[in-house]
């Protein structure tokens, strides 16, 4: 079978970067809803896909770039409990993962297949929390508790066939994974919580947990695992690859007995290197009870996360080496999911089914608002490619304050020219170009680390990017 990831049929084209930032607040809570609608992802056409539950069934909703509905559909999965996750797949369709199974649909929401089999020995009540499509074309779901209360990872083919099941932990019941990502070396990192129990009564109290990080190969063989925490409760909810290297993990920490966690729980941020070794720990708290639910990168290489504080208020926070720290609160929603969008802003999904589309500083309007960008920027800028790591296509954004000759060239780590993306005169403005991982002969290039350089007048800058296969 031909691996579709090795066939790069897209061509590199220069387009104007979106010259406006769209913000809106949209209530997408369906009639007969049976759970949260917090999982939202931006799609390749600039719109959004949302996962939730309606009439005791799995539910997907597709919106356009302005928040207008394009289609919705339900699927017989009886998914009325727990977390819902959704991704856009490489064929243009979507994959829904919930607590009782997964459903694959096409670009219009029509079901292609589903899998909710839980064979004997898989566990009493296995469930899925997150799903990704790997660069090898397979789907990976994670959750728990599997056999004997263990964390669970299942590998699926592109047709929904189970290729592998793996269980992790299990010294105490209720170990679980909450999030999974692919690493630059094509492995997997999963994060969640591993139960250690009370020091006097090991495994007797399942809410005594450590934040847990596990790296495996593509078949689930453990390469390393780390735990971080104290004698009480820590849990990871999400992980993101940091553009400068390593990973950012967001979750929660209660440095107290469970009876006092209602006021003692804090947002817990952990930064680790590529080997999972801890580089930074930080806690945040506002108004008592505080949790971090989801994390992403910013347009300038920083980090942004969303969570809740106090009595269910959304807490949006971002920071970076070249950015001002911004912390925003909203008393109407519980923020569950955050993704960076193509225009440099964010899309935030909430527990109550309200979407917040913000600009890069978390500003938004209750009604649809389109903010025009300054048509004449003041300085040259070369932004980090997005996504990064990528397969097979990534976007490079750059800013020109004046007309002139522009060269953008991709090099391998030996300094050899791989691809000349731009070699032409361009007008001032916000620009963008896509690279489809081919060389100047339109041949697919191998996975690895690449450099991209812009030369415009006296301005010259180089950044790194990682191609996965």
Q: pLDDT of 6-42, one tens digit each?
A: 223 222 333 334 457 889 988 888 777 776 666 899 9
Residue 264 has pLDDT above 70, yes or no: yes
Write the pLDDT tens digit of every residue in 378-415: 788 888 887 788 887 888 888 889 999 999 999 999 89
pLDDT of residue 33: 72
CA 132 to CA 425: how far, in whole Å? 40
- 101-105 and 94-98 beta bridge pairing: antiparallel
Q: How far is CA 232 from the centre of its chain?
A: 28
Beta bridge partners of residue 222, listed in sequence order:
216
Averaged pLDDT of the chain: 85
Domain 21-371 matches domain 381-467 at the CATH topology level? no
pTM, whole model, 2 decimals? 0.79
Write the pLDDT tens digit of every residue in 277-296: 988 899 998 878 899 999 99
- 313-320 and 303-309 beta bridge pairing: antiparallel
E strand map for 196-256? 209-216, 222-228, 233-241, 247-254
Residue 199 has pLDDT above 70, yes or no: no
Q: Give me the residue spans of the domains in the chain.
A: 21-371, 381-467
Structure tokens at 38: 């917090």
Torsion of CA 222, 224, 229, 235, to 10 degrees: -40
pLDDT of residue 326: 80
E strand map for 209-322? 209-216, 222-228, 233-241, 247-254, 266-272, 278-284, 290-297, 303-309, 313-320
Bigger pLDDT: 15 vs 149? 149
Question: Which of 51-55, 86-90, 345-349, 356-360 shows the lowest per-residue confidence on average (mean pLDDT)?
Answer: 51-55
- Dihedral sign (CA 165, 168, 170, 175): negative
pLDDT class of 74 with cuts at 50, 70, 90: very high
Would you give the DSSP letter of residue 206?
T
CA 420 to CA 438: how far, in whole Å? 10
* Mean of pLDDT values over 320-330: 73
Backbone angles phi, psi at 96, to 5 degrees: -100, 135
CB 60 within 8 A of CB 105: yes
* Residue that the structure tokens 């994060």 belong to: 191
* Mean of pLDDT values over 326-342: 82
Bigger pLDDT: 312 vs 362? 362
**Domain with residues 21-371, CATH architecture:** 7 Propeller (2.130)
Q: Which homologous superfamily does the CATH classification assign to the domain defined by 381-467? A: Macroglobulin (MG2) domain (2.60.40.1930)
pLDDT of residue 325: 74
Q: 224: closest CA among 242, 252, 247?
A: 247
Q: 162: closest CA among 113, 207, 196, 208?
A: 113
* Mean of pLDDT values over 131-146: 91
CB 198 within 8 A of CB 205: yes
Most confident of 119-133, 335-349, 355-369, 426-440: 335-349
Question: Which of 54-58, 205-209, 256-260 shows the lowest per-residue confidence on average (mean pLDDT)?
Answer: 205-209
pLDDT of residue 430: 75
Would you give the DSSP letter of residue 438?
B
Write the pLDDT tens digit of every residue in 451-467: 999 999 999 999 998 89
Q: How far is CA 135 from the centre of its chain?
A: 15
């Amino acid at each position: 079978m031909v691996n579709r990831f090795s066939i790069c049929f897209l061509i590199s084209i220069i387009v104007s970067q979106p010259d406006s930032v769209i913000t809106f607040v949209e209530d997408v809570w369906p009639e007969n809803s049976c759970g949260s609608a917090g999982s939202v992802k931006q799609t390749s056409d600039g719109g959004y896909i949302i996962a939730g539950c309606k009439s005791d069934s799995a539910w997907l909703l597709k919106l356009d770039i302005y928040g207008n509905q394009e289609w919705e559909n339900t699927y017989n999965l009886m998914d009325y409990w727990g977390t819902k996750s959704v991704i856009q797949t490489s064929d243009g369709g979507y994959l829904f993962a919930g607590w009782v199974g997964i459903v694959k649909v096409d670009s219009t929401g029509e079901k292609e297949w589903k899998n909710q089999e839980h064979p004997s020995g898989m566990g009493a009540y296995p469930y899925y929390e997150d799903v990704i499509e790997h660069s090898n074309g397979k789907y990976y779901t994670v959750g728990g508790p599997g056999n004997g209360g263990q964390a669970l990872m299942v590998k699926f083919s592109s047709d929904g066939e189970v290729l592998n099941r793996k269980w992790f932990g299990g010294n105490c019941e209720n170990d679980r994974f909450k999030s999974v990502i692919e690493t630059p070396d094509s492995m997997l990192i999963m994060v969640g919580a591993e139960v250690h129990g009370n020091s006097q009564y090991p495994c007797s109290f399942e809410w005594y947990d450590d934040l847990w990080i596990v790296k495996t190969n593509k078949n689930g063989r453990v390469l390393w695992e780390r735990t971080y925490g104290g004698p009480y409760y820590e849990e990871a909810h999400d992980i993101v690859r940091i553009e400068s290297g390593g990973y950012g993990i967001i979750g929660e920490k209660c440095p107290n007995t469970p009876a006092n966690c209602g006021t003692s729980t804090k947002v817990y941020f952990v930064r680790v290197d590529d080997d999972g070794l801890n580089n930074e720990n930080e806690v945040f708290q506002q108004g008592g009870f505080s949790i971090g639910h989801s994390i992403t990168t910013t347009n300038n290489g920083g980090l942004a996360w969303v969570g809740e504080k106090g009595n269910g208020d959304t807490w949006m926070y971002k920071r970076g080496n070249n950015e001002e720290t911004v912390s925003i609160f909203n008393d109407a929603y519980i923020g569950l999911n955050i993704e960076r969008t193509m225009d440099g802003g964010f899309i935030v999904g909430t527990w109550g089914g309200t979407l917040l589309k913000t600009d890069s500083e978390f500003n938004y309007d209750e009604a649809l608002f389109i903010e025009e960008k300054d048509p004449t920027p003041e300085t040259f800028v070369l932004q980090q490619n997005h996504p990064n790591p990528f397969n097979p296509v990534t976007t490079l954004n750059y800013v020109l304050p004046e007309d002139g000759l522009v060269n953008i060239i991709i090099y391998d780590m030996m300094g050899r020219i791989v691809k000349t993306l731009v070699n032409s005169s361009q007008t001032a403005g916000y620009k963008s170009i896509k690279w489809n991982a081919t060389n100047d002969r339109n041949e697919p290039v191998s996975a690895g680390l690449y450099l991209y350089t812009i030369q415009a007048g006296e301005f010259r800058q180089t950044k790194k990017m990682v191609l996965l296969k």
